[in-house]
Structure 1
């Protein structure tokens, strides 16, 4: 691990000539999965340690929604950030971002699951087919448009492949963060909502009474653990320090330092383990999912002629083929 980190530092040092002296403060973006106060408390110890490692103040950056953090990076108000995979993809494509490490769970696993939740009192809602009946007039709690587990994954696996458009199917579609959706289900404000296993782990600890009122009726395929993304145009020596910090955090140092860092990671977000190296290749499965969803939407669009559908789906098939080749030649894909 030490050789790997040192090798990475050398490569980063050759990547540019800008100096760390140009950076007076780093802003760390945090997506709004729950209240800013709870997230700030969760991330503060790790960000304080990052501050010591890079030698400049590190401040948490919050926005009302995921798009706010993405736009913050686009306009250089955010230097690095914790994203979900879908929002990371947007940051890479639109905000000059680049994935550099990936989170892991406390047990070392590198994935989580999207969920559909209902209140335990709802004996009529027990599986996916029960919420796909548009005649019921249900109220649906959807996730942020840039959320992987709260929106992208269920929009494909639950709605798109079942030819259901939530906007036309449900009495009301409310959009909130993960915590807001879970609480809306617990309080009976919506009939069902999207969420994920990470958020539910946090809720079980922070609001056990509300957690006890909720049941899961659907679970997605495994989603890759969240990435951290930095601005590609950060000075190379700053990126070297950031890279070294995250790959060494909870791994390098005295036994006491390693133990302390791992305890901090356990209380960050829903509970993390040490970070692992990653890249934009982590986003390939998410890009694939987005293309599949777009293809289904085109095929089911009654406003398009047969020729238009053929042309548009052929274009998507070409992109999918290119993506498959990339995935085949990328290690660990």
Structure 2
């Protein structure tokens, strides 16, 4: 008896099923509103690839990563740090990056203070030790944590937790609201989220000013699981890269992109786009290690080697040196 039919059937059983595609949407807004805003785009994706598509929205990065790793999410709109985690886990690859309305392909981290504040720039901000309350981003956020940590604080040999009188941690919206309610004196944000916050809270925004901006940083990526069938991956990638640019309904697609996330479209990208956050992460870890006076020198040396080892592995995973 030939084993060929049996083996063929076994292979079919072993292959993962992709009857449905779930798109994960990392958000700093309300989950239900985000899903409602993105639903028309997801419906168009479903029609383009000929498969049911549903969305899953969360601001919880750990939950999002777990669902990607468990194959509960096949495509995701993430930030750079979470995309790096997804790629490092061996489950996903970057295939596109977001373009903001106005055809902006980069964003900046910013620091906000009330308009009435005497603080005008970074130097004045960092000349008030133990006097200010700071609304920081979560430690997993690229825009609201890693970028300001490096470009604003660590370049000046400052640890925020030693400098500020109080630090609260939250999303860009939570930090914005805390500043508007005078619960803090300084708040982190970024030019991407700030456009949406400006639209949602115009009166509060009018009472704030930006006193620091980071260098430009690559916009958030789209990732896709590596084990998706090649034809499905191709259809999904083509949909996003063409959406709002070609076809018979480009005007409608552009409108849907704007309402989804104030987007203008998507541009091709790959894992190498995550090198920026890899470099930030290494510097951050090494900086904090240097300031750790409680750690035994031998253990500190071993930890430093571990940081560099992981960094070199990530560089390889992301396509090698620049």
TM range (shorter): 0.7 to 0.9
- With over 3 angstroms needed to count, the CA separation of the structure-2 counterparts of 1:94 and 1:239, relative to structure 1, is same
Please state if 1:51 is matched with 2:43.
no
The separation in 2 between residues aligned to 1:292 and 1:19, in whole angstroms, is 42
Q: Is there any run of 5+ residues in structure 2 with no aligned partner, and where?
A: 1-11
- With over 3 angstroms needed to count, the CA separation of the structure-2 counterparts of 1:21 and 1:241, relative to structure 1, is farther
The equivalent of 1:290 in structure 2 is 281
Could you tell me how far 1:174 is from its partner in structure 2? 1.5
- Please say if residues 141 and 194 of structure 1, whose CA atoms lie closer than 8 Å, have aligned partners that are also in contact: yes
Could you tell me how far 1:292 is from its partner in structure 2? 1.7
Please state if 1:191 is matched with 2:185.
yes
Please state if 1:278 is matched with 2:269.
yes
Could you tell me how far 1:89 is from its partner in structure 2? 0.8
TM-score of the superposed pair, with normalisation by structure 1:
0.82
- With over 3 angstroms needed to count, the CA separation of the structure-2 counterparts of 1:329 and 1:23, relative to structure 1, is closer
When structure 1 is superposed on structure 2, of 218-227 and 202-211 the one drifting more is 202-211
Please state if 1:227 is matched with 2:221.
yes
Could you tell me how far 1:241 is from its partner in structure 2? 1.7
- Please say if residues 241 and 268 of structure 2, whose CA atoms lie closer than 8 Å, have aligned partners that are also in contact: yes
- With over 3 angstroms needed to count, the CA separation of the structure-2 counterparts of 1:40 and 1:167, relative to structure 1, is same
The separation in 2 between residues aligned to 1:232 and 1:75, in whole angstroms, is 13
The equivalent of 1:8 in structure 2 is none
Please state if 1:113 is matched with 2:113.
no
Which of residues 24, 28, 35 is equivalent to 2:30?
35
- With over 3 angstroms needed to count, the CA separation of the structure-2 counterparts of 1:318 and 1:72, relative to structure 1, is closer
Alpha-carbon RMSD across the aligned residues, in angstroms, is 3.0
The separation in 1 between residues aligned to 2:318 and 2:19, in whole angstroms, is 38
The equivalent of 2:204 in structure 1 is 210
The equivalent of 1:149 in structure 2 is 143
- Please say if residues 110 and 189 of structure 2, whose CA atoms lie closer than 8 Å, have aligned partners that are also in contact: yes
- With over 3 angstroms needed to count, the CA separation of the structure-2 counterparts of 1:154 and 1:51, relative to structure 1, is same
Question: The residue matched to 2:273 in structure 1 has which SS?
Answer: helix
Post-superposition Cα deviations, 1:41-91, rounded to whole Å, max 9, x if no partner, equal 332221111121122332221224222212221222222111111111112
The equivalent of 1:243 in structure 2 is 237
The separation in 2 between residues aligned to 1:59 and 1:222, in whole angstroms, is 33
- Please say if residues 32 and 66 of structure 1, whose CA atoms lie closer than 8 Å, have aligned partners that are also in contact: no
- With over 3 angstroms needed to count, the CA separation of the structure-2 counterparts of 1:26 and 1:322, relative to structure 1, is closer
Question: The residue matched to 2:212 in structure 1 has which SS?
Answer: strand
The separation in 2 between residues aligned to 1:219 and 1:174, in whole angstroms, is 20
Could you tell me how far 1:129 is from its partner in structure 2? 3.3
Please state if 1:97 is matched with 2:89.
no
Post-superposition Cα deviations, 1:252-273, rounded to whole Å, max 9, x if no partner, equal 213xx1222122223331x222
The separation in 2 between residues aligned to 1:92 and 1:324, in whole angstroms, is 11
The separation in 1 between residues aligned to 2:267 and 2:14, in whole angstroms, is 26
- Please say if residues 175 and 189 of structure 2, whose CA atoms lie closer than 8 Å, have aligned partners that are also in contact: yes
TM-score of the superposed pair, with normalisation by structure 2:
0.85
The separation in 1 between residues aligned to 2:59 and 2:101, in whole angstroms, is 28
The equivalent of 1:163 in structure 2 is 157
- Please say if residues 99 and 266 of structure 2, whose CA atoms lie closer than 8 Å, have aligned partners that are also in contact: yes
The equivalent of 1:300 in structure 2 is 291
Could you tell me how far 1:149 is from its partner in structure 2? 0.5
Please state if 1:259 is matched with 2:251.
yes
The equivalent of 1:4 in structure 2 is none
Could you tell me how far 1:18 is from its partner in structure 2? 9.8
The separation in 2 between residues aligned to 1:320 and 1:229, in whole angstroms, is 21
Could you tell me how far 1:144 is from its partner in structure 2? 2.2
The equivalent of 2:9 in structure 1 is none
The separation in 1 between residues aligned to 2:212 and 2:219, in whole angstroms, is 19
Could you tell me how far 1:153 is from its partner in structure 2? 0.6
The equivalent of 1:201 in structure 2 is 195
When structure 1 is superposed on structure 2, of 142-151 and 55-64 the one drifting more is 55-64
Matches within 5 A, 1:52-71: 52-71=47-66
